[in-house]
Structure 1
Amino acid sequence: MHAQGADPVIAAFYRAALEPGQWCAAMQAFAQLAGGEVACCFLKAETGTAPSRAYLSGIEEQAWEDGYRRYYHALDPGYAVLTCGTPGRMHLMQEYFSERTVAHSEYFQDFYLRVGVRYSCSGIVRDDDGLTILSAHRAAGQGRYDARTRAQLQRVLDHLPNVLRLRDTAQQAQVRGTLAWKALDALPRAILLVDASLRLVYMNPAAQCLLTVTPQVPPLIALRGGNFGLVVGSVQQQLAQRVRLACANLACARPAPLYLADADGRPALEIGILPVALPLEQGWHGEVPRLAMLSLRPLFRAARRQGAAVAARPWRLTGAEWALALALADGVESASYALRQGVCISTVRSQIQAILRKTGTRRSNEIASLFSALEWGTGALP
C-alpha cells in the first residue's frame, strides 16, 4: 500500500483531471495504493457495450484492446456485482467468486489469469449517461485484499465523480487561465484554496453554502481578516503545518484528514488537505504558485439527533430505522444495539432488512459504509 495513504493518490487524480498527461501517474499511484501493479479506469455507455475510453496502468494496451475490449468485457462477471449494488461502493471481488468459480470461468481462465492478475477491488460511478469503472488488481502472489486497503481505495472512488466533472469542464474550457476556477465552481464538494499562511484565495459556491447553511459547521470555522482558521487550537496547529507542507510540495507524515468535533464531542467536519498548483488569474505567466486545497465534508451522522424530522430522513426511513442506521455507521453491532435499546434481536434484524430494502444495500456493513459516507447539508442526500 502507498506509504502516505490515499491523499496523494486523490491529489494525483485531480491533477490528471486538469492535465490529461498525468492520468498514467494517477493510475500507477492507485495501483500502488492497492498493493498491486495493475489499475484500470474505463467508461462504458451501458452494461453490455465495450468500453469507449480507458486509462490503464500495469497491463499491455494491446492485451486490453485485443482481449478485454474486443471480447472478454462481455464475459466479465464483475459487472453483475457492480451494477446490482449501489453505485459508489468499492467491492472486493474475492468475496463473490470462489476458487471453483474461477476454475470454471472462461473470463478468469482465458483472460484475467493470463494477463497476470487474480484479485480485484472495483467500484462504479455514473458518468453522465454511462458507467465509469475504477478497479485495482493484484497478482496471485500479492495476496487477497483486506478491509483497510478497501477503505483506502473507497476514499479515492468517493472523489472520482468530482474528478470526472473537473476533467469534463477542463476539456470544454478554452482559456487555460480561467479553466480551473470554472471547474472548481462546478464541484458539489466544498473546496477552499489557501496559501502557506492560510490566507483564503478562493472558495467555491458549495463551500459558501456549507459555511452559511449547514448549522453545525460555522461554529467550528474562524474566518478572520481573510484567513481561514479553526476554533480548536490543537487542530488549527495541525492544519497550519499540513498546509505549509502542501504548499511546499512536501510529503506529510500523517496525510489522513483532520476532524473537528461538535459540542457533544462527536466528529462533525472532515478536512482533507491536498497540494494544488493553479493560475491565479487569466493569462497568468511564469511559475504557478503552490496552494493547498481544503476539501470540507460535514459528517452525516454528527448532524442529526434521533428525533430528526421525517422530511430530513433519506429513503423514507422510519425513526427507528434511522436511529439504527446511524448506530451501525458508528460501528455499533446489532446485538449490542438491541441490548442498549431493550428490544429483541429479531426486531433489529427486521429493521435492518427494511433498511436494506429501502436503500438498495445488501449487508449491514454496507449500511454502515453508506451512512458514514453521505454528506449532510450539501445536496448529496437522495
Structure 2
Amino acid sequence: MELTGVVDLIYAAALGEGASWQDVGDQLMNLMGAQRATLWLKDEGGAPGNVLMRADSYDKKYAQYVEIDPYRAAALEVGVEETMHRRGDVRLGHEIIPDASYVKSEFYADFGRISSRRYMIGGLICTTGVIPLGLHRDAAARPFDEADKRTLSLLLPHLQRALQMGARLAPVGSGFAAAALDSVPIGVIVVDHEMRVLYCNAEGTALVGNPRSGLSIVRDRRGSSANSSRLFAHHPADHAQLCRLVGAASRGGAGGGMQVRAHSSVLAADAATLSALVCPALRHLSSSARANMGTSVMHGAATVLARNLLRSSSLPARLLVELFGLTRAEAEVAVALAGGVTAEDVARKRHVSLETVRSQIRTILRKTGASGLRDFERIIALGSTMHAMSAARPVSGDG
C-alpha cells in the first residue's frame, strides 16, 4: 500500500470508520519493513494497550520487561512542551539510545534479542499527553535509515491530527451522519483548496453567523465560481494562516491548529474567540460525495474543526452534581476529563494521588451509567448542547 493509502487508514481508524488501528499497524509494518509496531493508547476504561497489533504471547512477555525498556524510559522523560517543540521529529534507535548501550542492556539481552527488537525507529505524538510510536526490526533485517525517517516523518503529523480529530468528534461515534454531526458542539466545516464550502454542520453555521466568532461564509459572485460560498477569517493575518493550513491539508499535508480572532471593529481586544484545527477532509463529509464510497481522505479539500472559546464546552460542575449525584470533587474531575485533561494532569493539579483520581473516574462512570470514558464524553457533550440551548432560550411568563 502506498503512503496515501496508509494516511487514509489512519483517519478511518481514529474515527472508527471502516478500519481499525490493527489495519494501520499491518500497513505500517508492510510499508516500513518492520516486524513489530507499537502505539499505546488508552481504551474506554482508561487502560493503556498497544493498538497496532493483536495481543499475543509477546505482550505477556514484554510486561515483565517494560520497566527496563530503555526506549520507553527515554520517551517518559520527554514532556508535552518539548514534544510540541519537536513535532514531527522522527529518530532512529541509536539516536535515542547509543547502539552499544542498547545491545549491552539487560532488556536486550533477556528480551529484545529474541523478540524482533534489534532495530528501532520512532517518534512522539502530543495530544493531551505524550504518546510514543515505535517500529521494530529483528537482527536479521537491515537497520532503519534516513529514507525510513523521511517516510515516517510524513505519517507522524497525520497520526497526531487524526487522534486530535477523533477526540474532538468523539461524541458523534462512528457513522458520521449529518444529524449526528449537527449534535456536536464543535463546528465542522469542509472546504476545498480555494476555501469554497462543501459542508457545514449546525454548530459551524451558528459560528459563521456570529460576528464575534471571527469566521464567516460569504457568497462569491465573480468568475467561474460565481454563487459559491467561501470561508474566511475576519482578521487578515488569521485568514492568511487559515488559507495556508487548508492549502497544506488539501494537498495531502496534515494541516495544523490555530486560534481565530474577531475583527477589531467587533471586539476591542485583539483576543482569540475560536480554536481551529485543520485536517484533511473525509470524503463522506462532502455534499458532493457519492453515497457508500467508504471512508477515505478527499484530496483537494480540508476539514476545519472550530470550537468557541467564549463559551464553556462542558456542563457546569453543579449540574453534574444535580443530574448524576456526583460529589463536588467528582464533578470537578468529570468537568476536567470532559475538557480533554488526562487523569495524571488532574491528579497533579488537585494535589492528590493518581489512584485517587482513577477511583473517582470509576465512580463517575458508575453514577453516570457510562460504559467508558468515551461514552462519558458523549453524555457530557449531549448534556452541554442541551444546556446551551436551554440557556439561550428566552424565558416566557405563565399564562
TM-score calculated relative to the size of structure 2: 0.46
TM-score, normalization: structure 1? 0.48
